[in-house]
Amino acid sequence: MSQRVREILSWYGSDNPGMLTNLARILNHGRLAGTGRVVILPVDQGFEHGPARSFAINPAAYDPHYHFQLAIESGCNAYAAPLGFLEAGAREFAGAIPLILKVNDHDTLQDEKDPTQALTGSVLDALRLGCAGIGFTIYPGSMQRLKMYQQMRAYAEEAKRHGLVVIIWSYPRGSSISKAGETAIDVCGYAAHLAAQLGAHIIKVKVPTSHVEKEAAREVYEKEKIPVATLPDRIRHIVQCCFDGRRVVIFSGGATDSDAEVLEEVRGIHAGGGFGSIIGRNSFQRAKAQALELLATIMSIYAGNGAP
């Protein structure tokens, strides 16, 4: 067990050894094992955007086994997916990689102004499938957010009692936030902090822009001269918003970008002290060989080995 992993575990003093064991399983798996950095493969796009928009570009990805294999071969720390995708491979790949059950999900067949998600999995599902943790999405900014926080709380209490890691996807969204605001630095920082206050062990937010959405926040960002110009600045700020670095926070990109764009972003996250990335579309929407190459480069950046 590396010194860094021990240090990270030490932040979770209110959790039982069961949760620490599962967190260690994630931190000690794959190419980044022991570094304290984390790259997770999430595949909830099929639920979120439908199968064709998610997988037609790389039809092998229609097969649930593909994603287990991609996560394992690339050396990701964990693979996260909804119930159906995990059920379709959990026996075949048992023990091969830490799993995270996404316990709520959302589709886009309706386009609500104030979205929420459906509860689609349970803590007992996570245990029977051998998962190391559960993933839960909240939408700060939605009129439905308070109800989502309450659902999260109940799941988190049960998960923690059973020794599971709780990961919150904190995605600002809803009628009070502009499209640009969803990735605004103030909103992302707020969303990350909310997830930490709700008791998340690992927090997932989008890579923030330098836009500041809320008037009340802008005054503070300007007055206190909070540096948000560069990506490392912004990452550093998000880390600060997550209990000054006492909680693991990782970042997701979004729609498919060029390799160069993805790597530039990863370098920024690394430079700013972010703990890692959750890379969905930019991995499974590439041909497997290319995805493996990109993920290898990403992980070598996080491992601090430099990169091409």
Query: How many residues in total does the chain contain?
Result: 308
Which helix (H) or strand (E) segment is 256 a member of? none
Residue number with CB closer to its own copies (40 or 212): 212
Q: Which of 102, 113, 160, 204 is catalytic?
A: 204
How many of the other CB atoms lie within 10 Å of CB of 193?
20
Q: Minimum distance from CB of 173 to its own copies (Å)?
A: 10
Residue number with CB closer to its own copies (56 or 264): 56
Residue number with CB closer to its own copies (152 or 301): 152
- Assign 41 to helix, strand or coil: strand
Q: What token pair was written down for 33?
A: 């094992």
Of residues 159, 152, 168, the one with CA closest to residue 131? 159
Q: Minimum distance from CB of 264 to its own copies (Å)?
A: 25
Q: Are strands 104-105 and 133-138 parallel, antiparallel or unpaired?
A: unpaired
Q: Which long-range contacts (CB under 8 A, 24 or more apart) does 263-270 make?
A: 263/294, 263/297, 263/298, 263/301, 263/307, 265/207, 265/231, 266/298, 266/301, 266/302, 267/301, 267/307, 268/207, 268/230, 268/231, 268/232, 268/235, 269/207, 269/231, 269/235, 270/37, 270/301, 270/302, 270/304
Residue number with CB closer to its own copies (94 or 264): 94
Q: Minimum distance from CB of 248 to its own copies (Å)?
A: 12
3-state helix, strand, coil in the chain (%, to 5): 45, 15, 40
Residue number with CB closer to its own copies (128 or 254): 128
Mark whether 204 is an active-site residue: yes
Residue number with CB closer to its own copies (161 or 264): 161
Q: Minimum distance from CB of 271 to its own copies (Å)?
A: 19
- In angstroms, the CA 22 to CA 173 distance is 30
The residues with which 40 forms a beta bridge, in sequence order, are 78, 278
Residue number with CB closer to its own copies (240 or 297): 240
Q: Minimum distance from CB of 88 to its own copies (Å)?
A: 5
- In angstroms, the CA 222 to CA 226 distance is 7
Q: Minimum distance from CB of 214 to its own copies (Å)?
A: 8
Q: Minimum distance from CB of 306 to its own copies (Å)?
A: 28
Distances (CA, A) of 126 to 100, 132, 162, 228, 286: 8, 8, 10, 38, 29
- In angstroms, the CA 71 to CA 28 distance is 15
Residues designated as active site: 204
